[in-house]
Chains A and B, each alone.
Chain A
Amino acid sequence: MVSALFAKVTLLTRHVKRFAHRFANLLLSALLLLCVSLPVAAVPDSLLEGVVKFEVERGNYLGALTRFSKQTHETYPISYAAALTGFGMDKDSILSQLTRSKVDKKSLTADQRFRIGRVYYKNGECIDALKAFKGLTNKLGLEEKQEWAFYRANCSIILGSKKKAAQVLSDILSGLWISHAYYNLAMAYSEASTNKTKAVVALRVASSLNPGETRAEKELNDRVYFAAGSFYLQNEKARLASDFFKKINLDSMIAPQALYMHGVALLEQKDFRAATQSWFSARKYATIQQGVSEALLAIPYAFEGSGYTTQALEAYLEASDSFKKELGRIQKVKGLIRKYGVRKVLIEESQLADLEWFLAKDVAKNTQRAAYYSYLTQDSEIYDTIHTMTELQLLRDNQQLWRDELNVFSVSLKSKSSGFKKKAGAFSRQTFEKKIKALNNKARKVANPEAKSVLLEAADELAARERLLSKKIKAGRSKLSSQQKSVKSYQRSVDKNLKALNVLIEKHDEHISEMAISRLVELESSMTANFEKAEQGLVHILETIAEANNPVRNRLNGRYQ
């Protein structure tokens, strides 16, 4: 009898365990679904600070601002201020972050002070920057030290002390930062005095400290050579000037200007032939570049000076023709900008049929479009507005990416939700409770106390699991529904931002287009003046030829006699 009872109890226990196992599985799947809603673990502080710093230092400012909670930013005000600066945010909030970072001044490390100074510098606060930079002479790595010296020298120049700037740079340092600083110092010297000796010395140092290997280093060297050549030319040292001008790379941004100036320097040395060669080389660039226009007018002048009247006549005709064509092109570009806006005409990749001629690439680096873009961006307001518009376009891409991700989340959550409903539907609380009740009743009937206790324990455990499972299912259902709601709400916010971004991009485009048209009107009048000069030159030569052929001894021709 006892063995039969035990057999029944064992069977029941197995049944209960199987039952519990099935529900445990259900519980597990419910838990897995719930897992998604658990909070993100806190990354250790030392790591988090480094991660924020990495994003800031590599220039991913939006990433640094969005990837970490507001609380994190407040813990690291220097990185936060640097990220806000990089992302072009409100200056007051940046300065307030810096003030917070300096609460405990004594505990600031050299690196922190350097970063505080850098943010001040980038926000145009030179006095505060210099204060933060003070006393860091032997406390920074080589790379940071170069940057530090650059900021200090520039601040000294801005605050009017070129002497202090020269002192800052007298430390044995080299590299692009220092070379830039010497270039700036040279410009400051040149503005302050008509004597260019100091400026030229500073330029020579700038050149010697620049390795000239990377693109940026080469471009700076070209600017240094151009400035040095120009200073020598102003001081009537044409030979030295031409030596500098000819060092400038032909693929540099300032190549057309350099070619023209090189020609001027050669002309000063009375070498008409070499001067015309240099100016001829400038003609391959776009006519709207000032150096090219000047070169076009200079060629006939040099021919005429050397007595080649026919060549001078031809060159004037060519110049006049080029200016006329360019005037027509300016008209067309103005019309296109009025019709499509600067963004479509000059900035974005465009497939518009009207633009085909404008986009044609005769020489890869030398498209009409590139020339006009480069001309317009010389205006700092246009440049800054294009920069902001590009930033807004990148933000639009970012929001579009989020919209796509949210669509994926929405589909995934929908499928999770239906799977959850299916599994939760299989679980009937009443049936489960009925079975537990039956198990309890059976256990009470068992006489053997040990077997009875095993059964009652199993029933209790099952009841506890059932309660937990019911709770989890309820929570899971509500969590999934809240996540779905969140996705919908985020989708609405992203759509709203996208709409606002599109409006703002349009407004920026309109603003840039207005500025561009007024710049093109200026260009048009200067091109008209060039055209008139070429025509005048032409008339002058024709007059000279006519006079030579028909000499008139008495110019007054009997009048007033």
Chain B
Amino acid sequence: MDKWLNLPKNLSNPMSVFLLVLAFLCSPVFAENGAPETSALASETLELKQQIIDLNRKLYQFEEDLLHPVETQVAVFLAMAPDTSFSLDSIELKLDNTLISSYLYQEKEISALKRGGVQKLYVGSLEDGKHKLTASFNGQGGGSRYYRRKKAMPFVKKSKAKYIQLIVGEDKRTGEPLFKVKQW
């Protein structure tokens, strides 16, 4: 018995195992709750963050005014029907046969779209007259089938801003993806 007395206590003591387990066990996952920030540093940070939000808001507005004036502005938006099983991988946009935007989707963005989010895909300037917007959609539909669909939309740009919304849905009977267009 005497032989064991000077050995490391951490193994012979069941309590030490228990404490070790407690130390090792990760805390419960109670999401992103943070402790209330009360220190001077925290309030200084909050104040600066608010200043940056306010300035960025003005800067964003200024940039929009400068680069995309209302007469020439054209913007393309993308939305998804909430009950669609189509999972968008990527999209390519062409305006008058020139590639203007391409986008690869992350899981979080698809989830945001399915929850009613609308993505501003493109904003630019365009002269008045007839134009053609072409959108190519790539993604997986029901039954893990891969689809690549193209949708061409001729439109007329007049002397005010033009908004085009692409809506990804699916045919309830066939399960094939459907693409609708809404214009403002």
Contact = CB atoms under 8 A, between A and B. Distances in A.
Given A66-B60, A183-B29, A402-B56, A40 B118 contact: no
A308 B7 CA distance: 15
B108 interface: yes
A68 B52 CA distance: 14
Contact of B3 (A43, A68, A544): A544
Interface stretch (A167-175, A369-377, A493-501): A493-501
Contacts, number: 225
B168 to A, nearest CB: 13
Contact of A508 (B31, B36, B41, B117): B41
B17 A54 contact: no
Interface string A123-138: 1100000000000000
B57 A230 contact: no
Contacts of B79: 50
Contacts of A301: 7-8, 11
A254 B24 contact: yes
A66 B57 contact: yes
A51 to B, nearest CB: 5
Contact of B24 (A44, A143, A226, A395): A226
A261 B68 CA distance: 62
A41 B161 contact: yes
Interface string A43-76: 1100101110111111100100111111000000
Interface in B103-151: 106, 108-109, 111-120
A326 interface: no
Q: Main SS of chain A's interface residues?
A: helix
Interface string B91-104: 00000000000000
B38 to A, nearest CB: 11
A35 B160 CA distance: 12
B53 A65 contact: yes
Interface stretch (A83-91, A100-108, A333-341, A453-461): A83-91
B56 to A, nearest CB: 4
Contacts of B83: 141
Contacts of A494: 55, 59
B44 to A, nearest CB: 6
B57 A69 contact: yes
A384 to B, nearest CB: 6
B174 interface: no
Contact of B20 (A88, A294, A406): A294
A73 B28 CA distance: 34
A483 interface: yes
Interface in A288-308: 290-291, 294, 297-298, 301, 304
A292 to B, nearest CB: 12
Interface residues of B, number: 77
Contact of A297 (B10, B48, B71, B160): B10
Interface stretch (A343-351, A421-429, A462-470, A532-540): A532-540
B49 A38 contact: no
A58 B28 contact: no
A57 B33 contact: no
B24 A384 contact: no
B145 to A, nearest CB: 21
Contact of A89 (B50, B59, B63): B50
Interface in A206-258: 220, 223, 226-227, 230, 233-234, 254, 257
Contacts of A354: none
Nearest to B72: A35
B77 A47 contact: yes
A536 B60 CA distance: 67
A40 B70 contact: yes
B90 interface: no
A496 B118 CA distance: 34
Nearest to A268: B17
A39 interface: yes
B1 interface: no
Contacts of B59: 66, 402, 405-406, 490, 494
Interface in B40-91: 41-42, 44-46, 48-53, 55-66, 68-73, 75, 77, 79, 82-83
A97 interface: no
Contact of B30 (A67, A87, A184, A486): A184
A47 to B, nearest CB: 6
A537 B119 contact: no
Nearest to B43: A90
Contacts of B20: 261, 290, 294
Query: Could you say which of A41, A254, A290, A500 has the most chain B C-beta atoms within 10 Å of its C-beta?
Result: A41
Contact of A111 (B35, B42, B116): B116
Given A187-B28, A533-B8, 20 more contacts: A40-B70, A40-B73, A53-B116, A54-B113, A67-B60, A88-B37, A88-B49, A111-B116, A141-B115, A143-B115, A151-B31, A180-B29, A183-B28, A184-B30, A187-B27, A290-B24, A398-B56, A402-B56, A402-B59, A507-B44
30 contacts: A35-B72, A40-B61, A41-B161, A47-B77, A50-B117, A58-B112, A69-B61, A70-B57, A88-B37, A88-B49, A122-B33, A123-B33, A141-B114, A141-B115, A150-B31, A180-B29, A184-B30, A230-B24, A234-B17, A264-B11, A384-B34, A399-B52, A406-B59, A409-B63, A490-B59, A493-B55, A508-B41, A536-B6, A537-B6, A540-B6
Q: Nearest 5 CB-CB pairs, A to B? A: A50-B118, A54-B117, A57-B112, A41-B161, A66-B56
